[in-house]
A and B are shown apart, each in its own frame.
Chain A
Amino acid sequence: MKTRIISAVLSLCALAAPVAAQNIRIGEINSYKAQAAFLDPYKRGMDLAIDEINQAGGVGGRKLEVVTRDDNADPGEAVRMAEELVSAEKVDLLAGGFLSNIGLALGDFAKQRKIVYLASEPLTNKLVWENGNRYTFRLRPSTYMQAAMLAREAVKLQKKRWALIYPNYEYGQSAAATFKALMKKLQPDVEFVAEQATPLGKIDAGAVAQALADAKPDAIFNVLFGGDLAKFVREGTTRGLFKTIPVVSLLTGEPEYLDPLKAEAPVGWIVTGYPWYGIETPEHKAFLDAYQKKYSDYPRNGSLVGYMTIKAIAAAIGKAGGVETEKLVGAFSGLEFDSPYGKIMFRPQDHQSTMGAYVGKTDVKDGKGVMVDFAYRPGADFQPSDEEVKKLRPAE
């Protein structure tokens, strides 16, 4: 029995034959089932970009092809999928990742196996700083960058007593820590009167809203998202928490998190997000039209990230003139490419892209949550100084 199973396994693997050599193969790993709300649109964004590029003749005459794998939200599985993509599927580079721990595991894998990895979504600062490496690049603005965008708005409120609420894991902790550090620098008299770190996905919203109110803060910084955010918004609204207290909130303006709230979306929160309905730049209009034409649906933030991931990779391959790893590393470093957000660059000093985010206020229109009074904040403006980055990043 044992032999039979193993031989069956071996023959199965042998079946995964090498595919047409002329295609450029991108291995893409993500938590598709576990984070479907973000990643379904993400995959559509990728597919759209692939179509556009291949219809235009591919890159250097070669077509692009994406091989996706579900990592089951487990870093161990993600690494195995990466091994499989590299050895069995012979992909030329890796992309993807949603959860920070998976992004870090894949980044380290890329370093070990010397293959380029473009982390599209994981937000952790460590990916480009403490654990940054030669082969790993990241597209989305990091936790630090987004918190910095909001800190600059928060200072304008001139509130002294702040309460913080964040999901109890690295993303929440580092967002809160960044926000605190920046606030202290920008507004030395700031006080942090309450901190609630809630278990991810299991917030006890009533008690938390109550505890925040009891601390009598002047303003609240929120890092919750998804189901936790919905619970918190509803409880906080019912309990009158937001009536007089302004809220500054990370990611809340992204359709993934704002849309499920429908008419109950909070009003007047200062948020980062993606107001696809109001971005008037020609680059974005083109993307929006193409996306709506293909899918008869509006893009989510995931769609944009997926689309830009592929566009960035295509640009890098074009610049490198091939898929050889060392050439790709050189090409990505300092790569400028056109995106729905305009020209974006991968910084040579830390491999972080300068993709920014929109900062604005939430409102409810026609029974739906939207962002208003928003403006684009380019990622390049919200970085620590180059010296600081150099200190944070290990020497190569």
Chain B
Amino acid sequence: MTAASLAVQFLNGLANASTLFLLACGLSLIFGVTRIVNFAHGSLYMLGAYVAWSLTQHLSGGVGFWASMFGAAVAVAALGALIESALLRRLYRSPELLQLLATFALTLIIRDAVLYIWGPEDLLGPRAPGLAGSINILGRAFPQYDVVLIVVGPLVLLALHVLLTRTRWGAMVRAATQDRDMAAAVGVNQAILFTSVFALGSGLAGLAGALQLPREPASASLDLFAIGDAFVVVVVGGMGSIPGAFVAALIIAEIKALCIALGSVDLPLLGTVAFPKFTLVAEFIVMAVVLIVRPWGLFGQPQSIQRALNPAEPPSHAAPRWFYWLAGALCFALAVAPLALGETSYALVLAIDIFIAILFAASLYSLVGPGGMHSFGHAAYFGLGAYAAALLLKSAGAPMPVALALSPLGGALGALLFGWFCVRLSGVYFAMLTLAFSQIVWSIAYQWDAVTGGSNGLIGVWPSQWLASHTAYYWLSLALCVAGLVFLRIIHLSPFGAALRAARDNPLRAEAIGIDRRSVQWRAFTIAGAVGGLAGGLFAFSKGSISPETLSVSRSIDGLVMVLFGGVESALGPIVGAAGFVALQDTIARHVDYWRAMLGFFMLALTLLFPGGLAGVWRRRS
């Protein structure tokens, strides 16, 4: 590799950095002012690309092209304003996780809307008129359009800087970023400010998507790729910091370009290292490192202690006697159900999935609820448990019951390691570090063919003969699910559980009565990892195979949705939420074509009508 090729790769990195920055700066702006972590930001980016594509089909020539880019940005900004005023405005005082659920529901709806409107095929847009060719840089052809992108990024940064520092609107934005309530107190019209910020942020996402059109076809999978990148850039740069987002975008894009430029290199001790393969997780590795060294991102400020927005959950006590009788009767009814249903009943299969989902959701709930730790990467521990069980069975030759019994260890060890770093952080940064770790684990499982089977995963992970029937495995899952729930409940009511809730309710006070917050949270993280691992082990043997999907982000999100679905304030929440979620998904996925959108609408209705979750509905009535 020559210096010239490195230099041109650096320019490639700059062009990508511009795209990343455009994508991320809107998210950062929105978060700074509204404190909403907008999951739908990637969907807005995707919409920008699609709208721009449609516009370019009707408008031609140079003017038409740039009008299309601008028109897409404006259209997406208008949609953003609509989303803010019709939906998010009702959620500003809601718990952070509920806002997230609502914006996640939006991503489901927008994705299906895109499939409905534009169809499933990738749509390759036109090249930019007059900029389709290349210029010669150091003997290499460099796309003219990339030069434009390299310029656009810093221009937008500059424009935002001027807007924020030289205008009255910008002053209000900065005031609200510093302190939302204070801004309201000094007479900033919040409704208009928030709507305009959301519109601007959305418009920037739309512009980023539109500007990407000459380089990338519009496709319905852009949203998830984009939101991952945007989160990483915003968090690495420091949430709410626009210059931070720029620097972060630059670092990430350049590291990726460097990995690609290096290619396969023979290194002493390590042998041949294929650096391009690192581009799969480069951004998440960067994020993990940055957060470990600088817990608030490169340019971020420590978050001010959040004012409690929602009333605290009711105190936890041991349940009254009648509840135990009821729960016992229910368990008994569930235990004898297979006798009535018969071995070949699909209900058994679905019930096994529900038991596993309940166990997983309950383990996540123990972090999110009593722990106050919003993990976005809990699937990592589910997956580690599943892989531990599968590897013990397949590679170590352990009998299946032993492999299953050791699966919590897989989750616990992972949680022990990653938890140590994660509990040093809080709030959104905690969430993002858990996400980064889970993505790193995923990429290892995805690429380590020799051990994990790579993207194909491991197959032939079936239970022992005596557990192989649906009925037997149903009983096993039921027993372990109940045991896990009882275990978590006992811990919840123990002095340890009290210390954990104390650390969540009031970290300062908890420290002042001698509670080591980090240590308590670290233990809780590990316990949740262990129970999640058990769920993963059960999962592996119920499916006969596992693959990296077991530890994917979407599983982590599913878990959060289940917990929120049931309601974070109730210990019954994860049970109701997981059962409801799996049953609902199973039913509507079979009968409705656009079932994602359906699920999205359902979730939106839930967040708006029953912010306490399904269990909350039940409690309100009783």
Direct A–B touching in the complex (beta carbon < 8 Å)? yes
- Which residue numbers of A lie inside 8 Å of B, CB to CB? 1-3, 5-6, 8-10, 12-14, 16, 33, 36-37, 40, 69-70, 72-76, 79-80, 83-84, 87-88, 100-101, 104-105, 107-109, 112, 124, 126, 131, 168-171, 173, 194-199, 201-202, 204-208, 210-211, 213-215, 226-227, 230-231, 234-235, 238-240, 256, 259-262, 264
Q: Are B122 and A207 in contact (CB under 8 A)?
A: no
Q: Are A264 and B124 in contact (CB under 8 A)?
A: yes
User: Which residue of chain A has the shortest Cβ distance to B455 in the bound complex?
Assistant: A169
User: What separation, in Å, do the CA atoms of A169 and B586 have in the docked complex?
Assistant: 29
Would you give the 0/1 interface string for B137-169, flagging 1 where the beta carbon is closer than 8 Å to chain A?
000111101100000000000000000000000
Q: How far is the CB of A17 from chain B (nearest CB, A)?
A: 12
Q: Are A2 and B122 in contact (CB under 8 A)?
A: no
User: What separation, in Å, do the CA atoms of A202 and B282 have in the docked complex?
Assistant: 12
Q: Are B347 and A226 in contact (CB under 8 A)?
A: no
Q: What are the 6 closest A-B residue pairs judged by CB atoms, nearest first?
A: A36-B120, A88-B346, A169-B455, A105-B545, A83-B349, A108-B459
Q: Are B583 and A238 in contact (CB under 8 A)?
A: no
Residue B88, interface by CB 8 Å? no
Q: Are A234 and B142 in contact (CB under 8 A)?
A: no
CB-defined contacts of B2 to chain A, threshold 8 Å: 214
**Most chain A CB within a 10 A radius of its CB, from B13, B346, B595:** B346
Residue B372, interface by CB 8 Å? no
Q: Are B115 and A36 in contact (CB under 8 A)?
A: yes
User: What separation, in Å, do the CA atoms of A238 and B135 have in the docked complex?
Assistant: 10
CB-defined contacts of A169 to chain B, threshold 8 Å: 446, 454-455
Among B193-201, B255-263, B308-316, which stretch is in contact with chain A? B255-263
Q: How far is the CB of B590 from chain A (nearest CB, A)?
A: 7
Q: Are B143 and A239 in contact (CB under 8 A)?
A: yes
Q: How far is the CB of B3 from chain A (nearest CB, A)?
A: 11
Q: Are A205 and B256 in contact (CB under 8 A)?
A: no
User: Which residue of chain A has the shortest Cβ distance to B358 in the bound complex?
Assistant: A2
Q: Are B350 and A9 in contact (CB under 8 A)?
A: yes
Task: Give the residues from 246 to 284 in chain B that come closer than 8 angstroms, CB to CB, to chain A.
Answer: 256-257, 260-261, 263-264, 274, 276-277, 279-280
CB-defined contacts of A264 to chain B, threshold 8 Å: 124
CB-defined contacts of A206 to chain B, threshold 8 Å: 12, 15-16, 143, 146, 215
**Most chain A CB within a 10 A radius of its CB, from B9, B350, B615:** B350
Q: Are A75 and B545 in contact (CB under 8 A)?
A: yes
Q: Find B276's partner among A173, A198, A240 (CB 8 Å cutoff).
A: A198
CB-defined contacts of A214 to chain B, threshold 8 Å: 1-2, 5, 261
Q: Are A260 and B263 in contact (CB under 8 A)?
A: no
Q: Are B589 and A70 in contact (CB under 8 A)?
A: yes
Residue B520, interface by CB 8 Å? no
**Contact of A201 with B225 at beta-carbon distance under 8 Å, contacts A1-B572, A238-B132 already known:** yes
Residue B353, interface by CB 8 Å? yes
Among B216-224, B430-438, B522-530, which stretch is in contact with chain A? B216-224
**9 new A-B contacts at CB < 8 Å, known A194-B264, A259-B121:** A79-B545, A104-B456, A104-B459, A170-B455, A198-B276, A207-B16, A208-B260, A214-B2, A256-B121
CB-defined contacts of B451 to chain A, threshold 8 Å: none
Q: Are A211 and B261 in contact (CB under 8 A)?
A: yes
Q: Find B277's partner among A36, A108, A168 (CB 8 Å cutoff).
A: A168
Residue B93, interface by CB 8 Å? no
Q: Find B124's partner among A69, A131, A235, A262 (CB 8 Å cutoff).
A: A262
**Most chain B CB within a 10 A radius of its CB, from A36, A101, A201, A240:** A101
Q: Are A105 and B543 in contact (CB under 8 A)?
A: yes
User: What separation, in Å, do the CA atoms of A79 and B540 have in the docked complex?
Assistant: 11
User: Which residue of chain A has the shortest Cβ distance to B615 in the bound complex?
Assistant: A1
User: What separation, in Å, do the CA atoms of A109 and B541 have in the docked complex?
Assistant: 11
Task: Give the residues from 523 to 555 in chain B that come closer than 8 angstroms, CB to CB, to chain A.
Answer: 539, 543-550, 554
Q: Are B456 and A170 in contact (CB under 8 A)?
A: yes
CB-defined contacts of B256 to chain A, threshold 8 Å: 204, 207
Among B40-48, B362-370, B574-582, which stretch is in contact with chain A? B574-582
Residue B614, interface by CB 8 Å? yes
**Contact of A227 with B219 at beta-carbon distance under 8 Å, contacts A211-B261, A239-B140, A264-B124 already known:** yes
Q: How far is the CB of A217 from chain B (nearest CB, A)?
A: 12
Q: Are A168 and B583 in contact (CB under 8 A)?
A: no
Q: Are A227 and B217 in contact (CB under 8 A)?
A: yes
**Contact of A9 with B134 at beta-carbon distance under 8 Å, contacts A37-B122, A202-B225 already known:** no
Residue tally, chain B, CB below 8 Å to A:
96
Q: How far is the CB of B197 from chain A (nearest CB, A)?
A: 29
Q: Are A112 and B216 in contact (CB under 8 A)?
A: no
> Can you sample 18 A-B contacts with CB below 8 Å?
A12-B587, A83-B349, A84-B590, A88-B346, A101-B549, A105-B547, A107-B459, A108-B545, A131-B459, A168-B277, A194-B264, A197-B277, A198-B276, A199-B280, A202-B279, A204-B16, A210-B260, A230-B124
Q: How far is the CB of B63 from chain A (nearest CB, A)?
A: 22
Q: How far is the CB of B499 from chain A (nearest CB, A)?
A: 29
**Most chain B CB within a 10 A radius of its CB, from A14, A87, A197, A211:** A211
CB-defined contacts of A84 to chain B, threshold 8 Å: 346, 349-350, 586, 590
Q: How far is the CB of B277 from chain A (nearest CB, A)?
A: 5
Residue B26, interface by CB 8 Å? no
Q: Are B141 and A173 in contact (CB under 8 A)?
A: no
User: What separation, in Å, do the CA atoms of A74 and B575 have in the docked complex?
Assistant: 23
Residue B351, interface by CB 8 Å? yes
User: What separation, in Å, do the CA atoms of A37 and B539 have in the docked complex?
Assistant: 31
Q: How far is the CB of A101 from chain B (nearest CB, A)?
A: 4
CB-defined contacts of A79 to chain B, threshold 8 Å: 543-545
Q: Are A204 and B345 in contact (CB under 8 A)?
A: no
Q: Are B216 and A230 in contact (CB under 8 A)?
A: yes
Q: How far is the CB of A160 from chain B (nearest CB, A)?
A: 18
Q: Are A173 and B122 in contact (CB under 8 A)?
A: no
CB-defined contacts of A13 to chain B, threshold 8 Å: 345-347, 350
User: What separation, in Å, do the CA atoms of A69 and B589 have in the docked complex?
Assistant: 8
Residue B8, interface by CB 8 Å? yes
Q: How far is the CB of B6 from chain A (nearest CB, A)?
A: 9
User: What separation, in Å, do the CA atoms of A183 and B605 have in the docked complex?
Assistant: 58
User: What separation, in Å, do the CA atoms of A42 and B205 have in the docked complex?
Assistant: 34
Residue B62, interface by CB 8 Å? no
Q: How far is the CB of A77 from chain B (nearest CB, A)?
A: 8
Residue B333, interface by CB 8 Å? yes
**Contact of A197 with B122 at beta-carbon distance under 8 Å, contacts A33-B596, A105-B547, A211-B9 already known:** no
Q: Find B115's partner among A33, A76, A171 (CB 8 Å cutoff).
A: A33
**Contact of A196 with B263 at beta-carbon distance under 8 Å, contacts A87-B346, A112-B462, A210-B8 already known:** yes
Q: Are B122 and A240 in contact (CB under 8 A)?
A: no
Q: Find B544's partner among A109, A126, A168, A201 (CB 8 Å cutoff).
A: A109
Q: How far is the CB of B78 from chain A (nearest CB, A)?
A: 27
Residue B133, interface by CB 8 Å? yes
Q: Are A204 and B215 in contact (CB under 8 A)?
A: no
Task: Give the residues from 58 to 116 in chain B that come closer than 8 angstroms, CB to CB, to chain A.
Answer: 115
Q: How far is the CB of B549 from chain A (nearest CB, A)?
A: 5
Q: Are A260 and B257 in contact (CB under 8 A)?
A: no
User: Which residue of chain B has the shortest Cβ distance to A39 in the bound complex?
Assistant: B120
CB-defined contacts of B142 to chain A, threshold 8 Å: 239
**Most chain B CB within a 10 A radius of its CB, from A168, A201, A260:** A168
CB-defined contacts of B460 to chain A, threshold 8 Å: 108, 131
CB-defined contacts of A198 to chain B, threshold 8 Å: 276, 279
User: What separation, in Å, do the CA atoms of A223 and B466 have in the docked complex?
Assistant: 45
CB-defined contacts of A14 to chain B, threshold 8 Å: 347
Q: How far is the CB of A35 from chain B (nearest CB, A)?
A: 8
CB-defined contacts of A207 to chain B, threshold 8 Å: 9, 12-13, 16, 256-257, 260-261
Q: Are B349 and A87 in contact (CB under 8 A)?
A: yes
Residue B618, interface by CB 8 Å? yes
CB-defined contacts of A69 to chain B, threshold 8 Å: 590
Q: Are B341 and A10 in contact (CB under 8 A)?
A: yes
User: What separation, in Å, do the CA atoms of A83 and B124 have in the docked complex?
Assistant: 39
User: What separation, in Å, do the CA atoms of A196 and B447 have in the docked complex?
Assistant: 14
Q: Are A260 and B260 in contact (CB under 8 A)?
A: no
Residue B123, interface by CB 8 Å? yes
User: What separation, in Å, do the CA atoms of A168 and B132 have in the docked complex?
Assistant: 29
User: Which residue of chain A has the shortest Cβ distance to B330 in the bound complex?
Assistant: A3
Residue B484, interface by CB 8 Å? no
